[in-house]
A and B are shown apart, each in its own frame.
Chain A
Amino acid sequence: MTALHLEFDVAGNNFVSAGSASDEVKKTLKMLGVDPAFVRKVAIAMYEGEINMVIHAGGGKAVVDIFPDRIVIVLEDHGPGIPDIELAMKDGYSTAPDAVRDLGFGAGMGLPNMKKYTDSMNIESTVGEGTTVTMVVNFAR
């Protein structure tokens, strides 16, 4: 049974609104009284995924389901897709253009961070069609 269902449109290439979906989820979890350590993990993982949609995919959609014991985050875009997921997951791998690097992105640490801060993460991607990233963070120990 879903305790709470949230959906967000994430605008592409917009760095003013970038991060607002993760921010909203962070606030919601805090309000629900979720342990701050879990809130921090979720916020980081979702922010990285959200920013990737903003930078690499021209935007997308975030669907979030919050259960008493876990959160499930699905990030879906219709961007260019990821040709080699294993390579994209490597620490330091980035195709971010210079203009985006000047803003502080492009360390190639976003996907590794998402993996590190979640209990499970799955990427499905088809070149030319888009990418769907599903992440789960368990609140229970």
Chain B
Amino acid sequence: MARLSAEAVAQARELMSLYPDSRSALVPICHLAQAEEGWLSPEVMEHIAELMGITPAEVLGTASFYEMLRTEPVGRYMVSVCTNIACLLNGAYELLEHAEERLAIGVGATTPDQMFSLEEAECIAFCDRAPCLQVNHRFFGSVDDERFDTLVEDLAAGRLDDDVPHHGVLSRVRRQGGLAVPAEQVRAERAEADRARAERAAAAQAERS
């Protein structure tokens, strides 16, 4: 799939309407797009640019700034092994080595079947269960070699599909039924806020002069 799905386009439009400057919706829209394919392909970035009326270079500029937005393809599961101090002391590098062997790829690579990508991560704030890792930003603590193998098998077999959606899906709780606050209300409130601000500014001005 090259471009965004109709559903994603609709959601993107909704997101744009939430911000006074629709450009502000770029990061959330990138996440939305990433949930579709797991990464931001050139076609998708161009589609986003088209939707938002900006240039692809601007989309890439933002997307390439953030670690969690991927501009290169990654596997269905992004395995991020923490190697920061607490994990390191608890055998993170041994775990990472094991992961490399088990997945038969080096850090930064993706398995040929496009299932797993492996990366080294800084502290993911799960130090009490060191060594630990994230798969698509879901936490797994106290991981030893054996548990790692089980985890990989479970993921590959689809047994964890409910807990770990494919890469790019940030939240399993998709918002259903449109915006929590209708767009008109957002607009009305914004207009009201603008008016109040203008009034305050005018009052302050008057006071000064």
A and B associate in one complex: no
Residues of B within 8 A of A (CB): none
Q: Which A residues are within 8 Å of any B CB, using their own CB? A: none
